[in-house]
Structure 1
Amino acid sequence: MLFDMNALPADIRYKILTATVTPRPIAWITTQAANGTTNAAPFSFFNVMGHEPPTVAVGILRSPERGFKDTANNILSTGEFVIHLVTAAMAEAMNATCVNVPPEVDELKWAGIRVEPSNMVAPPRIADCPVAFECRSLASVVTGPYQVTVIGQIVCAHVSDEFVVDARRGYIDTPALKLISRMHGSGWYAHSTDLFQLARPE
């Protein structure tokens, strides 16, 4: 079956992409508006893009009601954000911040999620997430009506001590993090289990 993406309605394009590009890591992003209001929301159009410098890319879709989502507006206006990786233990809290509330509502306070100050950027970190990347925007590309892709540089990374095997060599106990990822369809997620390994050919 050939799908001409230019000829398909937007909702069908979305379904094809999200049903095939899986699993997708989740960027649970905190931002801060110019007036100081904090925002939190998860995004699964996300991944790391390189390490010299360490970069991430996040695709932020439009809000049907307001155009640019609060996360996009805040990053475009301040250039700062924090990406948290989502563990199975934090899944319900992450999902709570998907709530559709006005921009002046702090989703973190609304959901009762603990935060702590970041080290190098203004938006706070989610205290119970074992991995967080403090980021500054390198570039933003508006790819469609109110749809934006943000490329950010990670200025510092936080990893909970219990998951650091060897800090000097950068060894992390990845399976122990129990990160979840986004799958197909409405509300489907996956655990990071049932792993296998392949040796790279010489």
Structure 2
Amino acid sequence: MHKVTDLKVHYYGTPVVLISSRNADGTANLAPMSSAWWLNQGCMLGLGNSGHTTANLLRERECVLNLVPSTLVDAVDRLAMTTGAPVVPPHKAAQGYRHAADKFGLAGLTAQPADLVGPPRVAECPIQLECVVLGAHPFGQGATAFEVEVRRAHVAEELIIPGTAYVDPVGWDPLIMKFCEFFGGGANVHPSRLAEGWNMPHQLTRAA
């Protein structure tokens, strides 16, 4: 039986992304987010207007989307409740946010130069997407939807299906956030007719 209810949050589960952007003084900022979706070579990012990353993207128009494996959950959690903004917005301060200037150091992650954009990549992330901002669109109350284009993808060799330009969906285990909780260790649970129709080159091993 279903119940009609006014849910406070619709946050059913999306991959965690560490967005690296460039501050006004040229230093790097790093922020976790999980409101992103991809189509072809484009991606939409949903960010709150008071966020430091939002200001950086509006000004610099570029970023790196570092896709996080479940094994990096501790690093992501260390960045929670921090902001790159020198002055913490009042509503965030009330939640317990604090300023952190060196996000890479705080998370214990390594900055790695990008090829085409200014912000660095996260060396520990097996998928790194260098992106430019194509557009910024008001979304809901107090948020912005950023349209970005992937200009270069860096993928760990062990995640690439040999002889193809595809990521192995079994080898890639993204960190997922559902209703503000972390999940990982995904397993293939059922054959996909869509994958067959698109001739995806996956070699999946499923439990009997």
Normalization by structure 1: what TM-score? 0.80
Among 100, 106, 114, the alignment partner of 2:102 is: 106
Q: Kindly tell me: are residues 163 and 198 of structure 1, through their superposed partners in 2, closer, same or farther at Cα, counting changes over 3 Å?
A: closer
2:21 match: 31
Matched, 1:115 2:115: no
Shift of 1:194: 4.3
1:69 match: 51
Q: Which amino acid aligns with 1:112?
A: G
8 Å contact from structure 1 (residues 180, 192) kept in 2: no
Q: How far apart are the structure 1 equivalents of 2:44 and 2:72?
A: 22
Q: Kindly tell me: are residues 2 and 136 of structure 1, through their superposed partners in 2, closer, same or farther at Cα, counting changes over 3 Å?
A: same
8 Å contact from structure 2 (residues 70, 183) kept in 1: no
Among 161, 170, 175, the alignment partner of 2:165 is: 170
1:95 match: 77
8 Å contact from structure 2 (residues 175, 182) kept in 1: no
Q: How far apart are the structure 1 equivalents of 2:83 and 2:108?
A: 15
1:46 match: 36
Q: How far apart are the structure 2 equivalents of 1:166 and 1:102?
A: 40
8 Å contact from structure 1 (residues 138, 152) kept in 2: yes
Normalization by structure 2: what TM-score? 0.78
Aligned structure 1 segments of 4 or more residues deviating by more than 4 angstroms: none
Matched, 1:131 2:132: no
What does the per-residue CA deviation read over 1:45-74, in whole Å, with 9 as the maximum and x for residues that have no partner? 11102x2xx100010124xxxxx2011010
Which secondary structure does the structure 2 equivalent of 1:151 belong to? strand
Extract unaligned runs of 5+ from structure 2. Answer: 87-100, 198-208
Q: How far apart are the structure 1 equivalents of 2:14 and 2:113?
A: 28
Shift of 1:174: 2.2
Q: Alignment RMSD, CA only?
A: 2.1
Shift of 1:181: 1.1
Which secondary structure does the structure 2 equivalent of 1:93 belong to? helix
Which secondary structure does the structure 2 equivalent of 1:172 belong to? coil
Aligned length: 180
8 Å contact from structure 1 (residues 23, 190) kept in 2: no
What does the per-residue CA deviation read over 1:61-98, in whole Å, with 9 as the maximum and x for residues that have no partner? 24xxxxx2011010000001111111111111122122
Q: How far apart are the structure 2 equivalents of 1:131 and 1:188?
A: 19
Extract unaligned runs of 5+ from structure 1. Answer: 63-67
Identity of aligned residues (%): 22
Q: How far apart are the structure 2 equivalents of 1:99 and 1:39?
A: 14
Which secondary structure does the structure 1 equivalent of 2:55 belong to? helix
